[in-house]
Amino acid sequence: MQKTKSAIKGGNAGRNRGHNRRVVLDYVRRNEPTGRAEIARSCGLSIQAVSNITDALAADGFLQMVGKATGKRGKPVVQYRFNPDQSFAVGLEMRPDALVCAVLNLKGALIVADRIAISNATPARAIPLACELVEKTIEKAGRARSQLLGVGVVMPGPFGESALSGIGEANLPGWQDIDIKQSFEAALSCTVVVENDATAAAISERVAGVATKIDNLCFIYFGTGLGLGVIAGGHAQSGAFGNFGEIGHVITQVDGTACSCGNHGCLETYASRMAAKTYLKARGHSAIDTEALSRLMVAQDPDLQAWISRAAKHLSLAIGMLENIFDPEAVVLGGAMPDSIIEALIAQLSLPKGSVANRKERSIARVIKGASGRNTAAIGGASIIIHQATTPALSLFN
Ligand SMILES: [Zn+2]
Domains of the chain from N-terminus onward: 14-82 (1.10.10.10), 88-202+378-390 (3.30.420.40), 215-372 (3.30.420.40)
Instruction: Tell me how far the alpha carbon of residue 290 lies from the centroid of ligand 1, in angstroms.
Output: 22
What is the per-residue burial (b if ≥16 Cβ within 10 Å, else e) of 290-304?
Answer: bebbeebbeeebeeb
Q: How far apart are CA 173 and CA 162, in angstroms?
A: 15
Looking at per-residue confidence, does 223 or 38 come out higher? 38
Structure confidence at residue 47 (pLDDT)? 93
Q: Helix (H, G, I), strand (E, B), or coil: what is residue 122? A: coil
Instruction: Tell me how far the alpha carbon of residue 161 lies from the centroid of ligand 1, in angstroms.
Output: 16
Instruction: Tell me how far the alpha carbon of residue 396 lies from the centroid of ligand 1, in angstroms.
Output: 36
Contact 106, 389 (CB under 8 A): yes
Instruction: Tell me how far the alpha carbon of residue 259 lies from the centroid of ligand 1, in angstroms.
Output: 5
Instruction: Tell me how far the alpha carbon of residue 285 lies from the centroid of ligand 1, in angstroms.
Output: 24
What is the per-residue burial (b if ≥16 Cβ within 10 Å, else e) of 66-92?
Answer: eeeeeeeeeeeebbbebbbebbbbbbb
Q: Is 336 exposed, middle or buried (0-12, 13-18, 19+ CB in 10 A)?
A: buried
Positions of E strands within 106-246: 110-117, 148-155, 192-196, 217-222, 226-232, 235-236
For the chain, the average pLDDT equals 88
pLDDT at 5 over 70: no
pLDDT in tens, 193-220: 998 888 998 988 887 788 888 989 999 9
pLDDT in tens, 252-304: 999 999 998 899 999 999 999 999 999 999 999 987 888 899 999 999 999 99
pLDDT in tens, 114-150: 999 998 888 999 999 999 999 999 999 999 999 999 9
Structure confidence at residue 394 (pLDDT)? 41
Instruction: Tell me how far the alpha carbon of residue 266 lies from the centroid of ligand 1, in angstroms.
Output: 5
Instruction: Tell me how far the alpha carbon of residue 321 lies from the centroid of ligand 1, in angstroms.
Output: 17
**What angle is formed at CA 257 by the lines to CA 366 and CA 318, rounded to 5 degrees?**
15
Amino acid at the residue 64: Q
Structure confidence at residue 365 (pLDDT)? 94
Give the confidence band of 12 by pLDDT, cuts at 50, 70, 90. Answer: low
* DSSP structure class, residue 191: -
Instruction: Tell me how far the alpha carbon of residue 234 lies from the centroid of ligand 1, in angstroms.
Output: 29
- The separation between the first and the last C-alpha atoms of the chain, rounded to the nearest angstrom, is 33
Contact 323, 330 (CB under 8 A): no
**What angle is formed at CA 342 by the lines to CA 303 and CA 363, rounded to 5 degrees?**
140
For ligand 1, a single-atom ion, the residues with CB < 5 A are 249, 259, 261, 263, 266
Most confident by average pLDDT, 38-47, 284-293, 304-313: 304-313
Q: How far apart are CA 271 and CA 337, in angstroms?
A: 11
Structure confidence at residue 13 (pLDDT)? 53
Amino acid at the residue 119: S
pLDDT in tens, 351-367: 999 999 999 888 899 99
Instruction: Tell me how far the alpha carbon of residue 331 lies from the centroid of ligand 1, in angstroms.
Output: 22
How large a percentage of the chain has pLDDT more than 90?
A: 59
- Phi then psi for residue 336, to 5 deg, are -80, 55
Contact 341, 308 (CB under 8 A): yes
Structure confidence at residue 11 (pLDDT)? 62
Q: Is 352 exposed, middle or buried (0-12, 13-18, 19+ CB in 10 A)?
A: middle
